[in-house]
Amino acid sequence: MSVRHTVRKNDKGDTITVKLTPLKAIRWQCLECCVFQPKEVRLCSSPLCALYPFRLGKDPSLRGRAGPSAEAREKGQAAMRKIRKKQVEDDDKTTPESTRGDKCIPRVG
């Protein structure tokens, strides 16, 4: 669920229209509360605020279920690159040279 809404984008009163989900709306509110300083949102000194657990734009109830860590994701991507490279090499070994896209077939006659 998301809605388009106009929000303040800085402390000068400039506005921007954005697509807001509930978590993004909370994040925007926290940015506004902290004078649009993302570092201040992280360092928020109001832990009794109802929005505090959501201030970074993440749902704390999903902690640990949001997917693999960046390190695990990179490891998986590296493994997939290695597999794909091997598949391409194997295809080059088994594909007749006359049907490869990287080689031109000479015209006869």
Per-residue pLDDT tens digits for 30-84: 999 999 999 999 999 999 999 999 998 888 888 766 566 778 788 888 888 888 8
In a domain, 102, yes or no: no
Structural domain tally of the chain?
2
Q: Are residues 11 and 28 in the same domain?
A: yes
pTM: 0.54
Q: Are residues 53 and 69 in the same domain?
A: no
In a domain, 101, yes or no: no
CA distance 94 to 91: 5
By residue range, what is the domain housing residue 43?
Answer: 3-61
CA distance 109 to 106: 10
Q: What is the pLDDT of residue 88?
A: 80
In a domain, 100, yes or no: no
Query: What confidence category does residue 99 fall into, taking pLDDT thresholds of 50, 70 and 90?
Result: low
Q: Which residues contact 5 (CB under 8 A, 6 or more apart)?
A: 17, 18, 20, 25
In a domain, 32, yes or no: yes
Q: Are residues 71 and 88 in the same domain?
A: yes
What's the residue count for the chain? 109
